[in-house]
Amino acid sequence: MSGLRDGMLLGMGNPLLDISSVVDNEYLTKNDLGPDNAILAEEKHMHIFKELQETYKAEYIAGGSVQNTLRICQWILNRPNVVTFFGCVGKDKNAEILEENARSDGVNVVYDKCDEATGCCAVLITGKHRSLIAHLAAANHFSKEHVIKNFNYVENAEFYYISGFFLTVSPSSIMMVAEKALESNKVLLMNLSAPFISIFFKDPLMQVMPYIDILFGNESEALTFAKEQDFGTENLKEIGFKMLNLPKENKNRKRVVILTQGHHPVMLFEGETVREFPVVELQECDIVDTNGAGDAFVGGFISQLVQAKSYDDCINTGIIAAREIIKRSGCATGGDFPCL
Ligand code: 26A
């Protein structure tokens, strides 16, 4: 494969163990949860983790948005250690499960460790929808010192992928990596991750925005971002161009924006143009759950980007990866990746 080398991609995010159950709509309503949202757990949500385990036959699956993306990327590349992952876990069994999963896909995990429990995420599946409640715990204790101590990985990488979710944890670590990307003309990829990021973490998001070379988001994240930024439009095409044209530090790289919208076409905004890539809708009977579909899309995309493939190839591989993951529970790898 062309140009692959160890550690060329570095990801930073929250390593979480997913606790996934099928529930009914009533359960969502009762707990005041949206069907397709991702939120941070508050005290009032804590009973849900227990209930999923005790009453709803929970499945335990390796999760965390960035770690999912990186595992998918490694699965496709089929050559270990191209990808490094920074995140914080506890010193417990769940951390071992996460590490084992990531390593078996070929991700070189370089975890920060603390005395809290490893984070987890309640995944409430209702039909095609999934509602996520993240209890970050250890993940929230990631420190900038970890980045400083392991700066050789930052130096060595050419691509950086960070979730918007990580803005809730360590904006200063993100800025350190963003500055490095700018200084060395490397590529920073980020994801809007969830609507609440654009609302409650607007300041750190807009601080890093000028450093972002490739920005991912889905339709609800893009709409919320546009509202919060007073774009004055709910038209996704107009929103994409406005995102594209937000101030940018590295003038050597034009920003690219990629908006996904479920089974509707993926939109690629680049320069003066927007192009749409069709998504073939899966049959109802093939859908297991959509948990991790967005992460898998990005994993597929990056697997081609690091091989210097065209954006068309990146997006088409992203679409194939998302489609495959919807047929599986969570972001499960294993077996051969469908033919490219
Ligand atoms: C800070 N928050 C809310 C989060 C997450 C998260 N990963 C990092 N930070 N909330 C949900 N996830 C992960 O998203 C994946 C599905 O896209 C879940 O762990 C799940 O695996």
Q: Whole-prediction pTM value?
A: 0.96
- Among 124, 125, 131, 132, the mutation site with the greatest number of ligand 1 atoms within 8 A of its Cβ is 132
The residues that bridge with 86 in the sheet, in sequence order, are: 12, 110
pLDDT band at 2 (very low <50, low <70, confident <90, very high): low
Over residues 81-98, the mean pLDDT reads: 97
Q: Which of the following is catalytic: 105, 112, 213, 295?
A: 295
Report pLDDT for 187.
98
Q: In the predicted model, is pLDDT for residue 315 greater than 60? A: yes
More confident residue, 330 or 310: 310
Q: What is the pLDDT of residue 340?
A: 63
Interface ipTM above 0.85: yes
Rounded mean pLDDT, 196-209:
98
The atom number, within ligand 1, closest to the CA of 121 reads 19
